[in-house]
Amino acid sequence: MELVLYTSAFCAPCVRARSVLRDAGKLLPQARISEVDVLSNLEESDAIGIASTPTLVVRRDGTEVFRASGVPSVQQVLAAAALALDEHRA
């Protein structure tokens, strides 16, 4: 499972989202968590349609199973991660 947080440097909500993802990551030791700066990675961000920051994308085996913009709660991150663990989806 991969959780990718798309952020930008001057985004105050991104700071909060980063903190939430860090806290959720403590409960998800099997997750690979990464952050992508949209401005530094315009081609990638455009290719997958990132329209605002912060945006959380959750993937299972490279396939996107969840996406949400804004600052999530830890519970929302855990629910999204559960989608990546559900073998019956996608």
- SS3 for 1? coil
End-to-end CA, the chain: 13
What are the structural domain ranges in the chain? 2-85
* pLDDT tens-place string over residues 8-22: 989 999 999 999 999
pLDDT at site 21: 95
Specify the CATH architecture of the domain 2-85: 3-Layer(aba) Sandwich (3.40)
Residue 85 carries which side chain, given as an amino acid letter?
L
63-90 CB burial, b ≥16 within 10 A, e <16:
eebbbeeebbebebbeebbeebeeeeee
pLDDT at site 84: 86
Cβ-based neighbour number of residue 30 at 10 Å: 8
pLDDT at site 90: 47
* pLDDT tens-place string over residues 32-86: 999 999 999 999 999 999 999 999 999 999 999 999 999 999 999 999 999 888 7
Beta strands in 15-86 (DSSP E): 32-37, 55-60, 63-69
